[in-house]
Chains A and B, each alone.
Chain A
Amino acid sequence: MIIGATLVLLLILLLCSVPVATALVILGLSIGALFSDYPLYRAVGEITWSASTDFLLLSIPLFVMLGEILLRAGIAERTYNALNQWLSWLPGGLLQANIGTSALFAATSGSSVATAATITTVALPQGRRFKYSEKLFCGSIAAGGTLGILIPPSINLIVYGFLTNTSIPRLFLAGIVPGIILAILFMTCIAVACMVNPALSGGRQSYSWEARIHGLLDLIPVFIIFFVVIGSIYAGLATPTESAALGVLASLLLALSHRTVNLKFFQQVFEGTMRTSAMIMLILIAANFLNFILDSIGLADMLKEFVFGLGTSPLQTLLIVIALYIVLGFFVETLSLMVITIPIIAPVLIGLGYDPIWFGVVLILLIEMALITPPVGLNLYVVQGVRRTGSISDVMVGAAPFVVMIAIMIVLLIIFPNIALYFTQFV
Chain B
Amino acid sequence: MDIVHKVEKISQVASWGGGLLLLLTALLIAVEIVLRKVFSISLGGTDELSRYALAISCSWGFSFALFRKSHIRIDILYRLCPQRLQQYLDIFSLSMFLIYLGVVSWFACFVLKTSLLRHSTANTPLATPLWIPQSLWLAGLIWFCIVILVLLTVTVWRQIKGNRGESEDFASIVTLEEEIEEIEEVGAKS
- Using CB atoms and an 8 Å cutoff, list the residues of chain A in contact with chain B: 13-23, 25-26, 29, 41-46, 48-49, 52-55, 57-58, 61-62, 65, 72, 74, 113-114, 117-118, 121, 232, 237-238, 241-242, 244-246, 248-249, 252, 260, 264-271, 273-279, 281-283, 286, 331-333, 335-336, 376, 378, 381-382, 385-386
Contacts and interface: CB of A to CB of B under 8 A. Distances in A.
Given A44-B107, A278-B62, A385-B177, A331 B76 contact: yes
A208 B44 CA distance: 52
Contacts of B61: 274-275, 277-278, 281
Contacts of A44: 103-104, 107
Contacts of B176: 113, 378, 381-382, 385
Contacts of B16: 266-267, 270-271
A20 B72 CA distance: 6
29 contacts: A17-B73, A18-B73, A18-B92, A18-B93, A21-B71, A22-B96, A25-B103, A25-B104, A43-B107, A45-B108, A49-B111, A57-B54, A74-B190, A237-B33, A238-B33, A242-B30, A249-B26, A266-B20, A271-B15, A274-B64, A278-B18, A278-B65, A278-B70, A281-B58, A282-B58, A282-B62, A332-B76, A336-B74, A382-B180
B41 interface: no
A74 B14 CA distance: 26
A58 B93 contact: no
B154 interface: no
A374 to B, nearest CB: 13
Contact of B179 (A113, A121, A245, A274): A113
Given A49-B137, A282-B62, A381-B176, 15 more contacts: A45-B110, A48-B104, A55-B50, A74-B190, A117-B183, A241-B29, A270-B18, A271-B12, A275-B68, A277-B61, A278-B64, A278-B70, A376-B76, A385-B176, A385-B179
A22 B190 contact: no
A264 B185 CA distance: 13
Contact of B109 (A45, A74, A273): A45
B55 A22 contact: no
Nearest to B134: A49
B30 A246 contact: yes
Contacts of B187: 118, 121
Contact of A61 (B12, B22, B106, B180): B22
B184 interface: yes
Contacts of B190: 72, 74, 260, 264-265, 268
Sorted from nearest, which 6 A-B pairs have the closest CB atoms? A270-B19, A45-B107, A278-B61, A245-B29, A52-B55, A248-B26
Most A Cβ at <10 Å: residue of B26, B75, B110: B26
B25 A58 contact: yes
A273 B27 contact: no
> Secondary structure of the B side of the interface?
helix
Contact of A274 (B15, B75, B76, B184): B15
B72 A279 contact: yes
A241 B37 CA distance: 16
A333 B72 contact: yes
B140 to A, nearest CB: 10
Contact of A54 (B51, B68, B133): B51
A264 B189 contact: yes
A49 B73 contact: no
Interface in B138-189: 173, 176-177, 179-180, 183-184, 186-187, 189
Nearest to A260: B190
A386 B184 contact: yes
Contacts of A54: 51, 54
Given A48-B104, A242-B29, A271-B16, A61 B54 contact: yes
A269 B20 CA distance: 10
B51 A55 contact: yes
